[in-house]
Chain A
């Protein structure tokens, strides 16, 4: 079992309100990812669950028991830190065995569990080494092993992959996912990398300035962001935004600004009926923009001038000037385009997002 419930959690640091009224239910066996920019309170929330920070107000319970006052050691959790936090004076074996020794496990049981974890992580031949003799990836595995041997109810990960180089990070990400499928232990994972959040999480919590912005499955966040922040944070390259005014012409709604004039598709228009004459924020993902061709007839289109062409191999990123603003489009690698080209860009009508410019909430 490993169900974690956060009820009305607040945290103040010297008068700074770091975490604001967080309510969350993390289900048993779930892989929950906290994501957000630095200073958004995600790590603080994790540390409160771990018991490393006190809670200013609210309740944290694990499997129904409130753990607010419990010491970290009594919460039956294991944590993996960003800088690994391996004990430098101990061998890999002793690093992994330390938690079990502290809990007075039998020597034979300790041995069994350490070897088992080493086997899972493929670090069997490193057991007699010291942390400083290991590479970054190996250290990360040892840190994972130290958490696994304890068979805790909940794993807590604090940006565990951010000290690894890009290639290794992708590799360890896959291994973490496999590990979770194999062990089935509830995991709470903090990262600032939205790719990690999308790929690892069963559900993702997006935080900003101590406030939970949205909780949902990765695709739900991607397809239906609840506000402009989530829309801009999830997805890479980031969503394009344009401030437009809604007007009515011949019974259909038009969104326009200085460089843009598009007819809104019916489905979007429905939601904007009440906002004729007012400004809204239009959002469209780079991958939902295409170079207009015959097939896009009837799709909303606009003119753009290419400023930068970024070849990624599998796709091309076009930085385009649209009126006063810059938009990024991700197009097929076969598109023959070059800097300075004027072209007509089409957007997929069903993938248009609109946000309120004041509250930034999705409309």
Chain B
């Protein structure tokens, strides 16, 4: 904390903090207020006498109702959930195994292999989707959830591997050695000791992977075409912007509902998640 006179605290701490919060939270506020504002207010010209962009006295659930009744939003939600969970699960299993191997098993080129895996994460998706589209077409996976469940791991596995590598390195080697002297095989030592100790790391990798696949846009846009197969980010933007007409109310309601699961995931695991990022192993 900043010490000294009270005004210093205000000038150097509270005021900048308030500005920062305002800057950070305003888009969310805008999203919420737009999603409950009736159409009559939304499309009111800025110079009309009762123009009031930051507040509404007549909140409405029309936009949410429109989303669920007039669009396939429910299926988009379900698609996104299913795809995000499945690809996260696949990536976590591979990432944990690979991270463990790269950090603990002494094999030649383990270090350079780790770097190589990380480099694959740096290849931009906007380039990678072109060859991937070819593969998806050849295996006839286009327009199915599997086109995403199997392609998301291309960037999620390197990501999870990298996080888990760092985390496993922070787990003291002695824990495992002690377990092996205690009578555990390498597998048992990993299963009963290393993985439980690394749970915070696994959770943070999982949350990140889930968020990345939940919000992913370009693969979902390219590989899925029929409206009932789409995910929330693609569905909302492609079905609620028709030509140059923006359906602002439903758009914002969709964005809001789409961000709620991620927010829940974050706040639910936040304690573990922070512990995971700082790599703390309480011995």
A residues lining the B interface (CB < 8 Å): 50-52, 71-73, 77-79, 81-89, 98-99, 102-103, 131-132, 139, 146, 150
Chain B contact residues: helix, strand, loop or mixed: helix
In the complex, which residues of chain A have a beta carbon less than 8 angstroms from the beta carbon of B120?
none
A98 engages B172 (CB within 8 Å): no
B3 at the interface (CB under 8 A from A): no
Q: Which of A88, A99, A132 contacts B182 (CB 8 A)?
A: A99
Cα distance, A355 to B174, chains bound together (Å)? 41
Contact of A88 with B281 at beta-carbon distance under 8 Å, contacts A81-B174, A83-B172, A83-B174 already known: yes
A87 engages B197 (CB within 8 Å): yes
Q: Which of A79, A82, A131 contacts B181 (CB 8 A)?
A: A79
Name which of A84, A88, A150 has the most chain B CB atoms within 10 A of its CB. A88
Nearest residue (CB) in B for A97 is B182
B183 engages A102 (CB within 8 Å): yes
B35 → A minimal CB distance (Å): 43
B188 engages A102 (CB within 8 Å): yes
In the complex, which residues of chain B have a beta carbon less than 8 angstroms from the beta carbon of A77?
181
Nearest residue (CB) in B for A81 is B174
B173 → A minimal CB distance (Å): 9
B282 engages A98 (CB within 8 Å): no
B271 at the interface (CB under 8 A from A): no
Cα distance, A131 to B215, chains bound together (Å)? 40
B182 engages A50 (CB within 8 Å): no
Contact of A99 with B197 at beta-carbon distance under 8 Å, contacts A81-B174, A85-B178, A88-B281 already known: no
Cα distance, A82 to B175, chains bound together (Å)? 11
A81 engages B182 (CB within 8 Å): no
A2 → B minimal CB distance (Å): 15
Cα distance, A106 to B177, chains bound together (Å)? 24
The contact string, 1 if C-beta is below 8 Å from chain A, for chain B 135-173, is: 000000000000000000000000000000000000010
Q: Which of A79, A103, A132, A139 contacts B178 (CB 8 A)?
A: A79
A85 engages B175 (CB within 8 Å): yes
Cα distance, A132 to B282, chains bound together (Å)? 6
B261 at the interface (CB under 8 A from A): no
B283 engages A72 (CB within 8 Å): no
In the complex, which residues of chain A have a beta carbon less than 8 angstroms from the beta carbon of B199?
89
B226 → A minimal CB distance (Å): 46
In the complex, which residues of chain B have a beta carbon less than 8 angstroms from the beta carbon of A139?
283
B185 engages A73 (CB within 8 Å): yes
12 extra interchain contacts, Cβ-Cβ under 8 A, other than A81-B177, A87-B178, A146-B182?
Answer: A52-B177, A72-B177, A73-B184, A73-B185, A82-B174, A83-B283, A84-B283, A85-B177, A88-B283, A102-B184, A102-B188, A132-B282
Contact of A73 with B283 at beta-carbon distance under 8 Å, contacts A85-B172, A102-B188 already known: no
B182 → A minimal CB distance (Å): 4
A99 engages B283 (CB within 8 Å): no
B179 at the interface (CB under 8 A from A): yes
B197 engages A89 (CB within 8 Å): yes
What are 11 A-B interface contacts by the 8 Å CB criterion?
A: A52-B177, A52-B181, A73-B184, A83-B172, A85-B172, A85-B174, A85-B177, A88-B283, A89-B199, A99-B182, A99-B183
Q: Which of B177, B179, B197 contacts A88 (CB 8 A)?
A: B197
B197 engages A73 (CB within 8 Å): no
A73 engages B181 (CB within 8 Å): yes
In the complex, which residues of chain B have a beta carbon less than 8 angstroms from the beta carbon of A150?
182
In the complex, which residues of chain B have a beta carbon less than 8 angstroms from the beta carbon of A79?
177-178, 181
Nearest residue (CB) in A for B174 is A85
Cα distance, A102 to B183, chains bound together (Å)? 6
B180 at the interface (CB under 8 A from A): yes
In the complex, which residues of chain B have a beta carbon less than 8 angstroms from the beta carbon of A52?
177, 180-181
In the complex, which residues of chain A have a beta carbon less than 8 angstroms from the beta carbon of B175?
85, 87
A75 → B minimal CB distance (Å): 8
Cα distance, A86 to B172, chains bound together (Å)? 10
Cα distance, A81 to B173, chains bound together (Å)? 11
In the complex, which residues of chain A have a beta carbon less than 8 angstroms from the beta carbon of B196?
89
Cα distance, A182 to B114, chains bound together (Å)? 50
The contact string, 1 if C-beta is below 8 Å from chain A, for chain B 181-195, is: 111110010001100
A153 → B minimal CB distance (Å): 13
Cα distance, A146 to B183, chains bound together (Å)? 12
B187 → A minimal CB distance (Å): 12
In the complex, which residues of chain A have a beta carbon less than 8 angstroms from the beta carbon of B188?
102
Nearest residue (CB) in B for A150 is B182
In the complex, which residues of chain A have a beta carbon less than 8 angstroms from the beta carbon of B183?
73, 99, 102-103
